[in-house]
Every structure is written in structure tokens, then in C-alpha cells.
Structure 1
Amino acid sequence: MKARGDMLINGCRHKVASGTSAYVTQENVLMATLTVAEAVHYSAQLQLPDSLTPAEKRSWADDVIRQMGLATVAGTRIGGRVCKGISGGQRKRVSICIELLASPALIFLDEPTSGLDSATSYHVMSRIAGIARRNGTTVVAAIHQPSTEVFELFHGLCLLANGRAVYFGPASKAIEFFDANGFPCPLRRNPSDHFLRMINTDFEQGDHVLQQRQASFWTKSIVLTKRSMINMHRDIGYYWLRFVINIALFLTIGTIFFNVGHNYASIQIFEKEQRSGHYGAIEFVIANTLSSTLYLGLISVLPAAIAYYLTGLQRGIEHFFFFVATLWTCTMLVEGLMMIVAAIVPDFLLGIITGSRVQGLLMLNAGFFRLPNDLPKPIWKYPTYYISYQKYTTQGLSKNEFLGLVFQDLGLARGIDISGKYILKYNLQVELGYSKWVVLAILLGMVIIYRVLFLVIIKVSKMAKPFIKCLIAKV
């Protein structure tokens, strides 16, 4: 369904230029680990141009915080499911604060009072009305069943029924309009309830594409990286819980296989992150990659060191460095893969199910549970085996451990020794045509490919969203 018409601003035909308008969504999508001040300050650095100094941006953000009546909770974390924070009404005001930073002439609010009680709704809307009066800003709000006090704050009213305008004019004249057309408002009834009851429909909701003049590409990338690192540092479940679990897991592995040695009977094999338009997909992917790399390295290095030396693997800095680097790269691959799944499957639980299925598929075809030559050639070996990052991880770690070893005193016959290279080639069917460092380079290349694929999916899904909505509407 295509919409056609003229866009008029103050009676004149204009394009909505960059920074002219702002759109506040119904959902309060905020980082729970940030304080109110941090959330607004980081957004100011992203939205405001580089011609302003950081101090000027911070001062501007503080002024907006004061205008929205959030100065008393500026140092309080926003909060979420795990940690308690500010109230629902204050979260809504933080969302509005972020959009007010660029001083837009037009502000679109999608149900700003949704989920709020009448007192909180009035407090939020009165703040917005005050800013509109002081700054000369036009505020357009889609709102359902406002209280009488909230309704009286509006100057203009547009009532829609099935996409058609029933009334458009001064809010104070709406009662007279309905009365003149045979629908008088009963005494002691909220006028807005009466209007909605008469038209008996719901407001149409539409998408608004917001484009603003913003900071430079690198400024946004740096700010996003800093903000993501703060979020990761404070969110217990983000990486710290995984760090503790990894420590426990590798301690278990290290003690079970404590100092296994290098005899033939004990040969060992070792083997998971978009609407307001404040920044683009490229900046997000770069920032997420940079900020997560440090934490992924932390949860790889220390647990790996515990397991490596407890199990008695090959000593030597080169072997240990390769072991850690491979695990580090592997965790980045897992995270990249799960980001791709999250971009395709937005539902949290469905995303976990889908991601585990993909991981299981790659694991089963990595040549570990079933040797490469035993895999069915159609599909499972070509191409699944060769695109599985776990295949390269397994082979790289195997080469790192077995090459250079000689297994003696096997109990088969005197003087017969078996080299680690022989075991790799005939017992494990590891490809020996390239070194373990080539394997690591392939894994690093796959990290880049996964992130680029994630970026492409984000951009394609954004372009395809209107088309998908159109198909759903036709069905």
C-alpha cells in the first residue's frame, strides 16, 4: 500500500531536513546499566556535530535533563530486569530527552503515556508541553484514552477512523463539533473517551524515517565502543557470568585430564550483538566488535591457561599462544554467528533455539565425532564440513599438540615409535598441506566474514521491512 500526498510545514511544501524532526518510539529501548546522565551524554556525543566541544555537548545534555525534570535522578542507573532503577515515567522522559538533544522543530511521540498511570502521564506530557511552549516546537503525539488533564494540554486534535480524518482542528472545539453532528458528550464523561467511543476504531500507526545531522563516522564509532564497554563491564550476565562458567568448566577439564601425558592410549583432542537512527549499522558493528574483543579475550585466556597446564599439553610459549589465540578467535566467531541469528530471528527464545541448532550442525560436521572421510559427501562434507569454523579449530589445535611429538614404548614391538604427524594423517585425518598458522588466518578471515554478513543482514532487513509489511497487509 503506497501513500501519496504533499508534505507541508507551516503551510509550505518542504522536505523534512536532517535534524528537523525526532521520533520517540512507544518502547523505552535504553541500556539498563547506564545512568540517566550517561545515557543522555553518550547520545549527545552521537547526535550533535563535531563543531561543538565535548564540554559544550555535556552542558547541552545537562540542560535537556533539567528541562525534563530528571536532574534528581541523573546519577541513578536506568535499570531493567536484573537491577532496579528509575520509574517507568522517568524512563519515558529519558527516551524523550535523547530525541530532544538535536532541538528538532517537530517531535513525533508514539503513545508516550502507554503503561503509565494518570498522574505520571500528566507529569510526562506537561513537561513536553512546557518545552513546546518555550522552544516553539511542534509536538505530534499518537495517544490512546488520555485523562481529562492530559487532553487539556493539547492545542490541536486529529481523530482518525480507518485511516480517514474524522476531525482535525482545535482540541477545544471538538466537543462542539461532535455536538453539532448529533453526538453530544454526556456530563462527567472524559471527552477523549467519548470521541474514541464514537469513532470506534484505533489509531493507525506508521513508520517514520528519521535522519539527522550527526557526529562524524569515527566519533560515533568511538562513542559507541566506550558505551558498549561500560555496558559490558556493569552487566553481570553479559560476560562476567560466562567468565565464571568458563573458569569452572576448564577447571573441571583440567582436573579430570590432569597431566595425561603423551602415551598412545591417552592421545587427546581439544576443541556466541536497531531504530532511532542516531548511528548507522557500520558504526554499530565496528563498535560492537571492538568492545567485545577485550572481554572475549579475557574469558578465553585465563580459563584456557588453567586447562592447558593442568592437562599437561605441550610446553612452550608458541604452543600456548596458538592455543589461546585459537580459542579467542573461536569465541569471536561464536559471538558473530549468534549476532547473525539475532538479526534474522528477533525473538529471544527462538534465537537461542535457532543458534543452538546451527552450532550443533557445525559441530557434528567438524570431523571430530565422525572422521572427515566417513562423512557423506553430498551436503555434509561438501560444503558443510568446509564452512564449519569448528573444523578449522579442531584441526588447528590438533596440529598444535601432535606435530613434533613421538610416542614411544607402545607395547606393540620393540623399537617402534609413532610420530604425532602419523597420528594426525591416518588416525585423525587432519589435512597436513598447510600449517596451523594458516588455520588461524582462516579463522580470523571467518570472523571478518561473519561481521560483514551481520552488517549486510541488518541493512537488507531494514530495506525489506516495508515490503514485508506490505505482504502481511495483503494476506
Structure 2
Amino acid sequence: MQQEMTDLEVQTQTTQEDHSTILKKANNPVTLKFEDVVYKIKTKKGGILKKNSKSEEKTILKGITGMVLPGEMLAMLGPSGSGKTTLLTALGGRLGGRIGGSITYNGKPFSNIMKRNTGFVTQDDVLYPHLTVTETLVFTALLRLPNSLTEEEKVIHAESVITQLGLNKCKNSVIGGPLLRGVSGGERKRVSIGQEMLINPSLLFLDEPTSGLDSTTAQRIVATLWELANGGRTVVMTIHQPSSRLFYMFHKVLLLSEGNLLYIGKGAETMDYFAGIGYAPSVAMNPSDFLLDLSNGVSSDDSNEDQAVIKQTLISAFRTKLCDRLKAELHEIHRNVHEGLEDKQIARWTTTWWQQFSVLLRRGVKERKHESFSGLKIAQVLVVAFLSGLLWWQSDIAHLQEQMGLLFFYSGFWGFFPLLEAIFTFPQERMMLEKERSSGMYRLSSFFMARTVADLPMELVLPTIFVIITYWMAGLKATAGNFFETLFVLLISVLASQGLGLAIGALVMDQKSAAILGSVIMLSFTLASGYYVQHVPSFIAWIKYLSISQYTYKLLLGSQYKPSNTYPCATSTGICLVEEFPSVKLVGLGGKGISVVALAVMVIGYRLIAYVGLMRIGRTSK
């Protein structure tokens, strides 16, 4: 790995080397101290449907105490459910609810400026699959780095991080995902770490950074983190079962069992401590395996001692042998408070609203273009368009009912299609939104506007192509005015349906449930729009006033027919007024202005509802 890094450093330009030098040292070292940290949650016993269900309080963390100094790397060990991730999230300032005890950073509580100097890498690598490594880090740099740097300097900063983390060989490769081949798991993890390294954090948290990686890749990741800690940063991570090589790279080790602290201290002294209280492995073994056995209440000497007794013995030993000394060290250590870190007043956001919108729009277009203009979607629209054109081939006003059927099909197809597309937008983005907003990367409003605008090309181009094909094949009124009025009505209907989909997705945030709810709502609107049922009972007729399909269908009829138009009919004169046709008379050809206003209100109103629904996500970074 050292040879690989040497080769990469030789390739780095002089400007990049200057930025890389900055990254090697932490600007503001942070001493992290936590004392008697307690975290409780309320759980319901008996289930929701049972009458006697009671709320119980469960303690997740039970008085955790410790300290991590600048230049140290702390590894939290323990079995699943021991509270590792909860403690890490609490120390990172991202845990909601009531937290008992004290957590301080250079002697002060968590603050906005501390948040700016803290990096947090989640266990799952939440990255956009179609962006390259360079694009991912450059977009992050443009959003997270302050305006004191120019855009060119931010790009150079991102490139220097790529070099520092040994990502030059894959810098132009896409990240990839389940259905798209991209970089390796270790490279993905380094990209996630790189996103946090862009801000040159003084404090870095990582949740299971070696999860799912082979031992060699895991060692490279931990070696990189060791180098970052060696630069004066405070590094804290959770790790499940590291190899012995990794174990001895940790400056400090913290062992948890069911929310109880069993040990915190130097990694090299861990085995001696447990041997001193009567627990030593009977054979040579990986220290982390031995510690996990102990935290599960399993002794390695094949004794029949009860697991609960072993756990209680270890808890008592910690309290008598380590706890008092640890608290004394916490109180004696010098508070290395840096005025520039804690006391300086900073702006709430590092970039302006317009900068955030511009970067997010560019990123959204790059990522979404593969999905928005996929061959499958284009083929779907083209096939339906040509099939519709052939079925309604050159129909004329003599076949008024058939033309009305085509116009109703317009409203139905372009009601469901954009709705179902938009429903999946925010549920798919939830993890990314939570990650980026919890880091204070951008305003929710800038994300929402960029995300909405990025989808407009697909939402407007495909229905335009659809109308161009079907309108002339079906023989609708061949004038520019009628054509563009039909197109305008359909596009505003598409935007209203898309808004409804965004609102449902943002409120429900579950793809399957949102799709079912959206289908039921749109089907109700379609049934009440005045085509299938002409005599709707009064007690349910109110649905049509909420129906996108009803207003769209009414406007589409108005785009083709005027009250003075006639059609051939079986009367004495052989000619009847279109407005007297039973299906047309029920819907009416008047009130176009009201219908346009209703759809415009829906376009805006549904998006406002979607925005309010998204406000629940990432509340810590409003």
C-alpha cells in the first residue's frame, strides 16, 4: 500500500500537493470526552392491537464513560445489539431523544461549528451509482466547502483527497450499484470516507467501515484511518470482528455488552487487563474473538459458569478497577479549547441557496438522465403512442364518441404514468437526503427545487412526443391553435399528476405502500371524471372537484370542440350540436378558466405538501 501511495503522490500536480499537505494535519484538534452517557427509549409491550399494551422504557446505554484524544483511533467492539452504533451516533451529535450524562468536545457541548468539523461515515455507502468517483467528490466539495475557496480550488481539493486515499486508478469509474457494475467495495468505502475528508474534519466517526470487505481491503481502510488519526484527528469507529492485525492498530479499544461498558483503554493492554481479572484465553486466538466471547458471557476455559454471571463479573471488575481512574483522568486532563473552533460565529450555510440549487441540479441531471431517458421508458411511450394512433386512425367528428375516447385516454394514461414515476422519487432518495442533510450540506428548499426541475425534461418531453404522434395520426383538428392548446392542457395535467406523486411519496416514504395509495387515488379520480359514469350519485360527486382527470378531460374537450360545432346525428335535420351530445353535455365545454386555475393550484399545492412531508427528514440540520 505504501508503494501504491508513493506512485500516486508522484502523479499529483503541485497545486494538488499544496492541498494534500493541508489535509494531512487537523486544523483544530478535538478532545472528545463522554461521562455516564445514558440513553433510553420507550417501547410498547403487548402490540398495537391489544387493549392492555403498555409503554416500557428500555435502556440502551448504561452509563458509558471514556475519552479520545487528538491523534488517537478508538475502536468500539461488541456483539450485535450491544449499543455500539447508538453510542457512535450519540457521540456524533446525531442521536435524537433524551441523552443522559455529559458529552463534550474540547470541554464544550456539540455546536454548529463542531458539526462543520465533524465527519460521519455510515455503515452503508450511500452514493449515487451513475456518478464517477471524481464527480461524486467534486459535487460534495462544491456543496460542503465554504465560499472562501473558488470553484477551481474546491475541485483541486477534491482531487487531492482522491490522491490521498489512493483512488486515482478508479477516479473515472462509476460508483455502481446492484444493477450496475462499478468500483470495488473497498473503493466505495474510501469514497465515502473521502466525502467526509473534504472538510478536513477534526473529529471522524465511522460505523463498521470494514463491513463486507476482505481482510486485505479492510487493513487498507484501517491503515488509511490510522494515517488520518496520526495527523492529529480524533477517529472513532465501530467494528464487529477485526483481525488480529487490525486490532493492534487501534490506539484505544472500547468493549460493550448489552449497553454496559466492560473495558476502555489502550488496545495493547486489553489482554493483560482481562487476564488480571481471571479471564485469559486457553489457546492463542484473535483478541477481538476473545473479547466478543466475553461480551457474550462466554469464557474460553470451557467452564460451566453462567453467562449472566460472567457478564456481571466483568461489569463489576470494570467499575472497581477502571471506572474511578478513568473519571479522574477525564477531570484532570487539560481542556485544549481552540478559540477558532468553538467561539467564532459562523454562517448557517457554507454556500448560497443559488449555489446549492445549481450544484444539486447538475448532479441530479447527471444521475437521473440514465433513468429518465432509459430505452425502456422511451419504447413504452412510443409503442403506446403508435398503437393509439393506429386504433384511432383518422377518426373524424362523425365518430364523436371515439374521439372523446381518445381524449379521455390522454387524460388517463398521462395521469397514471407521471404519478407512478414521481411516487418513487423521494423514497429512493431518503437515505441520501438523511445523510446529506444531517451533515448540513444544503437547504431542503434547494434540494427540493433542484430535484423537481431535474425531472422536468422527462416529464415534458415524453408527453410532447406522444401528442405529436397521436394527434396527427388520429385526425384531430389540424390547426396550430388546437394542437398547442391540447399540448398545453396535457403538460399541465402531467405536472399536476407528478406533484400528486411527489406528495404521496414524501408522506408515505414506502415505495410499495405509496404505489398502492397513488393507484387507488388516481383510479378514483378517473372514475369520477365523467366518462365512465355519467350520473354520479350526489353523495360521492364531490370527488370530481378534486379529480385531475376531470379537469384535464374537460379542457381536452374544449381544445377540440366549440359549442357551435356540429356532428352528424339521427335526427330530422341530420345535424346536432356537439354541446348537446349527452357525454359532452355532462362535462360541459365552458369553464375553461376555472379548470386551468384548478390544475395550476394542484401543480403548486401538491408540491407544497411534498415539501412539508420532506421536512420530517434530517431535522437536525434544518
- 1:458-473 correspondence runs (5 A): 458-460=614-616, 462=618
Structure-2 change in CA distance of 1:148 and 1:326 (3 Å): farther
Q: CA RMSD of the aligned region, Å?
A: 2.3
2:248 counterpart of 1:248: no
> Is the 1:232–1:239 Cα contact (8 Å) retained in structure 2?
no
Deviation at 1:82, TM superposition (A): 2.8
The answer for the alignment partner of 2:600 in structure 1 is: 444
Structure-2 change in CA distance of 1:329 and 1:242 (3 Å): farther
The answer for the alignment partner of 1:112 in structure 2 is: 209
Which runs of 5 or more structure 1 residues have no equivalent in the other structure? 202-210, 465-475
Tell me, in whole angstroms, the C-alpha distance in 2 between the residues paired with 1:168 and 1:96: 25
> Is the 1:239–1:295 Cα contact (8 Å) retained in structure 2?
no
Aligned partner of 1:375: which letter?
V
2:417 counterpart of 1:322: no
2:544 counterpart of 1:385: yes
> Is the 1:263–1:407 Cα contact (8 Å) retained in structure 2?
no
> Is the 1:19–1:212 Cα contact (8 Å) retained in structure 2?
no
2:502 counterpart of 1:339: yes
Identity %: 28
The answer for the alignment partner of 2:321 in structure 1 is: none
**Which of residues 165, 171, 192 is equivalent to 1:95?**
192
The answer for the alignment partner of 1:229 in structure 2 is: 365
Tell me, in whole angstroms, the C-alpha distance in 1 between the residues paired with 2:398 and 2:380: 31
> Is the 2:121–2:196 Cα contact (8 Å) retained in structure 1?
yes
The answer for the alignment partner of 2:338 in structure 1 is: none
Aligned partner of 1:80: which letter?
G
SS in 2 for 1:141: strand
The answer for the alignment partner of 1:14 in structure 2 is: 109
Q: Which has the higher contact order (CA 8 A, sep 6+)?
A: 2
> Is the 1:47–1:212 Cα contact (8 Å) retained in structure 2?
no
Deviations 1:145-171 (A, max 9, x none): 112222222111111222222212212
Tell me, in whole angstroms, the C-alpha distance in 1 between the residues paired with 2:348 and 2:167: 25
Aligned partner of 1:67: which letter?
Q
Deviation at 1:20, TM superposition (A): 1.7
**358-367 vs 93-102, which moves further:** 358-367
Tell me, in whole angstroms, the C-alpha distance in 1 between the residues paired with 2:537 and 2:563: 32
Aligned partner of 2:362: which letter?
K
- 1:14-93 correspondence runs (5 A): 14-16=109-111, 17=113, 18-93=115-190
Tell me, in whole angstroms, the C-alpha distance in 2 between the residues paired with 1:75 and 1:335: 34
Aligned partner of 1:395: which letter?
K
Tell me, in whole angstroms, the C-alpha distance in 1 between the residues paired with 2:374 and 2:452: 14
**Which of residues 433, 446, 463 is equivalent to 1:283?**
446
TM-score, length-scaled by structure 1: 0.87
The answer for the alignment partner of 2:586 in structure 1 is: 429
Which runs of 5 or more structure 2 residues have no equivalent in the other structure? 1-40, 42-97, 298-346, 412-418, 420-424, 426-432
The answer for the alignment partner of 1:402 in structure 2 is: 561
Tell me, in whole angstroms, the C-alpha distance in 2 between the residues paired with 1:62 and 1:444: 45
Structure-2 change in CA distance of 1:412 and 1:267 (3 Å): farther
Tell me, in whole angstroms, the C-alpha distance in 1 between the residues paired with 2:348 and 2:207: 19
Deviation at 1:438, TM superposition (A): 4.2
Structure-2 change in CA distance of 1:38 and 1:143 (3 Å): same
The answer for the alignment partner of 2:246 in structure 1 is: 150
The answer for the alignment partner of 1:261 in structure 2 is: 396
The answer for the alignment partner of 1:205 in structure 2 is: none
Tell me, in whole angstroms, the C-alpha distance in 2 between the residues paired with 1:339 and 1:183: 58
TM-score, length-scaled by structure 2: 0.67
**Which of residues 558, 566, 576 is equivalent to 1:418?**
576
Deviation at 1:312, TM superposition (A): 1.0
2:284 counterpart of 1:188: yes
Tell me, in whole angstroms, the C-alpha distance in 2 between the residues paired with 1:336 and 1:171: 55
Deviation at 1:315, TM superposition (A): 2.1
**Which of residues 162, 173, 183 is equivalent to 2:269?**
173
Deviation at 1:240, TM superposition (A): 4.7
Deviation at 1:184, TM superposition (A): 1.1
